[in-house]
Structure 1
């Protein structure tokens, strides 16, 4: 009986350590998916910008971020292809591509983001480069929808005479 009690204490301690370590790694990753506050600043990188229009309390947004967007960033495979960012529609304003402050709901309306999550890929000038990915349709296909949007954006950038983005792959 005494051994069982000790084993339970050791198990509980290990479980606590694992939980603590995981919460710390989540905090360290908090900046993994950067939130946009200034679109002009993001545009300075010269890459297409994948923007997730999200709401803070949206469970579907959380799934899109944790299961798709953050793993895309972690993989490094998109690093030279597209900036992956989040724009919280709960925010009141952001800085637009022209350097002017704009209400987030106006910016969302410009790109057809009527629901969260909506993902768009924009040029450094703020042009829509692909079809928006609206909602979290089917988790099984969501990654494919995002990849297709990025591919469409790269093709549109190349057609506009900016082949260095495609060559940076």
Structure 2
């Protein structure tokens, strides 16, 4: 299940403890490609135990004023968070370490048939980077 971001400070602590990256999907309202990625990749991925042990999955609506806590523990909202990470195209998926550093990113959709495989490769690369840091 794709959970809207609420508290990246807590998520960061959990990511550090589990030594896994945080995968954030940035999307826009009424974005057909965002919905396609959610339905064909993110939702099925989130239901698999394998991925529940590999990533923490969160969602950001780029234009939302919904309140969140950022990686440093400061109050923010979805829109400010999107601006901070310079998201301009949707969907954008980013893999973060526990401090909010971007490890990997995937912008847009080229082929939905290969999207899962490409994302899985990025998750593996981000996990390797994370383990090298920790």
TM-score, scaled relative to structure 2:
0.87
Question: Which runs of 5 or more structure 1 residues have no equivalent in the other structure?
Answer: 1-31, 162-169
Q: Say whether residues 1:34 and 2:8 are aligned partners.
A: no
Tell me which structure has the larger Cα radius of gyration.
1
Q: d(CA) in 2 for partners of 1:34 and 1:104?
A: 13
> How far apart are residue 105 of structure 1 and its match?
3.6
Given the alignment of the two structures, is residue 95 of structure 1 paired with residue 69 of structure 2, yes or no? yes
What's the offset of the Cα at 1:151? 0.9
Query: Does structure 1 residue 50 correspond to structure 2 residue 23?
Result: yes
Alignment length (residue pairs): 129
Q: Secondary structure at the match of 1:56?
A: coil
Superposed CA RMSD in Å reads 1.5
| Structure with bigger RCO (C-alpha 8 Å, 6+ apart) | 2
Matched, 1:141 2:114: yes
- Counterparts of 2:77 and 2:51 in 1: how far apart (Å)? 29
TM score, norm. by length of structure 1? 0.70
Aligned with 1:136: secondary structure?
A: coil
Q: Structure 1 112/145 Cα, relative in aligned 2: closer, same or farther at 3 Å?
A: farther
**Displacement of 1:33 after TM fit?**
1.1
